[in-house]
A and B are shown apart, each in its own frame.
Chain A
Amino acid sequence: AQKITQTQPGMFVQEKEAVTLDCTYDTSDPSYGLFWYKQPSSGEMIFLIYQGSYDQQNATEGRYSLNFQKARKSANLVISASQLGDSAMYFCAMRERYTGNQFYFGTGTSLTVIP
């Protein structure tokens, strides 16, 4: 089974609108971390936001927030007030504390912001 599933290969959003990028994960480890990364066309992976499995509140970092629904094993990224510079690939990732410790990445979602 896939550890991280991103079902949206491509998304479009109007500038200044909000957009949600979906991510579901699969783990039986009680402790894990969830991450979102942005990869512009330059290739560098930029860390955006982190959510720990025991965190009670959803993580927020500026215009980024993570909608964490533990029971549904869902960790969607919400980008508010989209900007042209947000056009990039977005990857969801997970790391388990006790099971293997490997970082697992999803296949990514390509976001295009339309002026």
Chain B
Amino acid sequence: KAGVTQTPRYLIKTRGQQVTLSCSPISGHRSVSWYQQTPGQGLQFLFEYFSETQRNKGNFPGRFSGRQFSNSRSEMNVSTLELGDSALYLCASSDTISTDTQYFGPGTRLTVL
């Protein structure tokens, strides 16, 4: 099976712009989670989707949003970018939202100038 894929891998934006990141889970996986990783804050949970419904949400402002499509692919959107949004954004998929293992994609490295 193919692993989790994320596009794009690298992105450079300027303050005030918006960005959309994409994640395709492992075939058959219905849960997709998003994480933000920065040197200062470490790995922080953004949100999780299961069967097109947001099931969990981390403590991030409303500028961060996401959605999941019927084929389980997920997108994450950040509006009005700030310098502090520069980070590695990781997507992970799992079969269910139980105690199944999450498998991660390679990440999207976002730089905000």
Interface residues of chain A, those whose CB is within 8 Å of chain B, are 31-33, 35, 37, 42-47, 50, 52, 91, 93, 95-97, 100-105, 107-108
Pairwise interchain contact B48-A45, C-beta atoms closer than 8 A:
no
Q: Which residue of B lies closest to A35 (CB)?
A: B101
Q: In angstroms, how far is the closest chain B Cβ from the Cβ of A108?
A: 7
Closest 7 CB pairs of A and B: A33-B99, A45-B104, A105-B43, A102-B56, A44-B106, A101-B97, A43-B107
CA distance A91 to B37 in the complex (A): 12
Is B62 interfacial (CB-CB < 8 Å)? no
B107 near A44: Cβ-Cβ < 8 Å: yes
Measured as residues with beta carbon below 8 angstroms from the partner, the interface class of chain B is 20 to 34
Number of A-B contacts (CB under 8 A): 61
B45 surroundings in chain A (CB, below 8 A)? 102-105
Contact partner, B56, options A91, A97, A101, A105, Cβ 8 Å: A101
A31 and B99 contacting across the interface, CB-CB below 8 Å: yes
Question: How far does the alpha carbon of A115 sit from the alpha carbon of B28 in the complex, in Å?
Answer: 42
Residue in chain B with minimal CB distance to A93: B102
Interchain nearest-CB distance for A110 vs B (Å): 12
> Is B42's CB under 8 angstroms from A108's CB?
yes
